[in-house]
Amino acid sequence: MLINSADTVVADALHGMAAAHPDLDVDVERRVVVRRDAKSGGRVGLVSGGGSGHEPLHGGFVGYGMLSAACPGEVFTSPVPNQMLHAAGAVDAGQGVLFVVKNYTGDVLNFQMAAELAEEDGLRVESVLVNDDVAVTDSLYTAGRRGTGATLFVEKIAGAAAEEGAPLDRVAALARRVNESSRSFGVALSACTTPAKGSPTFELPDGELELGIGIHGEPGRERRAMMTSREIAEVAVGAVLDDLAQTGGPADGPVLALVNGMGATPLLELYGFHAEVSRLLTARGVTVARALVGNYVTSLDMAGCSVTLCRADEELLRLWDAPVQTPALRWGR
C-alpha cells in the first residue's frame, strides 16, 4: 500500500487534502473538513461524515453548493460525536444545521448523540437518514437498508437548496425526498484490503463475484460465477427498478443515474458498464436525464461498481444542475 503506516493513514490523507485544497479548512487533530466560507451568507449548514476508505465521500464533497463540513472517522469506522458537534458549531450561521447520515449503526448513534448535544448548545439540528441499498434489508453494519450511492444525490441537491437560501425544514424535506426517490445496488469483483489488516476483508475466489455487496465488504444477496458487464447490469438495474416501482412513482419518469466505481475498477470498464445500464433503461422506457460515471462512493481497493437511480422532477433536476465546486464534484462556476 502507498502509506507510511496503518496508524497514520487518515491523518496523512488529511494533511494531503489540506495541501491540495487551500479553500478548505482541514483540522487534522479534530478530524473535521470545513468549507472556509461556511458561516458567510446566512445559509443552512450541511454536515455529513463516516468512516474513511470511501473517498471522495465525504470530504471530497465539501464546498460551494454541497457540504459545509465533513467528519472522517478511521477506516470503516464511524466518526465520534465530538467531531460532529465541532463541525456543527463551525458551520452554523444562525439558520440551523442538517446532518446527512448513512444508515450504519455507528453513524446513526453518534450523529444522534451529536444532534442532542448541539441542541443543548442552542443549535437547531435536523437529521436525514440515507438508506437506498436494495440488496439486503439487514447487514453486519445496519438495522434496515444500507446507505450508499444516494448519499451523493442527497448532499448535492440539499446543498444546492441551502446555497439558494432555503430554510432548514425545506432543505431537510428535499433531502428526504431524494432519499425516498433513490435506490442502489452494488457488485464486488474482488474484496477490499484495509490498512490495519493488510489482507482481503473477505474471501472471494477467482472467477466469482458478489451481488449486492456493501461498501464495507458486507455480504450481498448471492455469490455467482463471473458474469459479463451486460449480465451484471441486468441484475443490478432490474433490482433497482423493481424496488423503485414499489414507491408508486411513474415507471417511465426521468432519472438521475450514477454508475459508481468501488475504487479499483477503471473508467474504461465503468463507461462500458454505463452503456449497458443506459441500454436497459431505454428498453424499459426510462429516460436518463443526467448521468454521472466514476469513483465517488468507494470501498478502498475493491473492484466492482454500483448503480444508483433517483426519480427526478423538474425541481430536483434544477438543483442537480446548480453550480457546485468541491474537490470531487464541480460544474457551473
- 261 forms beta bridges with 305
Phi, psi of 44 (to 5 degrees): -65, 140
Q: Is 84 strand, coil or helix?
A: helix
pLDDT in tens, the chain (333 residues): 999 999 999 999 999 999 999 999 999 999 999 999 999 989 999 999 999 999 999 999 999 999 999 999 999 999 999 999 999 999 999 999 999 999 999 999 999 999 999 999 999 999 999 999 999 877 666 678 999 999 999 999 999 999 999 999 999 999 999 999 999 999 999 999 999 999 888 889 999 999 999 999 888 889 999 999 999 999 999 999 999 998 877 667 899 999 999 999 999 999 999 999 999 999 999 999 999 999 999 999 999 999 999 999 999 999 999 999 999 999 998
Query: Which positions are annotated as active-site residues?
Result: 54, 216
Cβ atoms < 10 Å from Cβ of 245: 12
**Using CA atoms, how far apart are residues 150 and 194, in angstroms rounded to an integer?**
24
pLDDT at position 51: 97
* Most distant CA atoms of the chain, gap in Å: 56
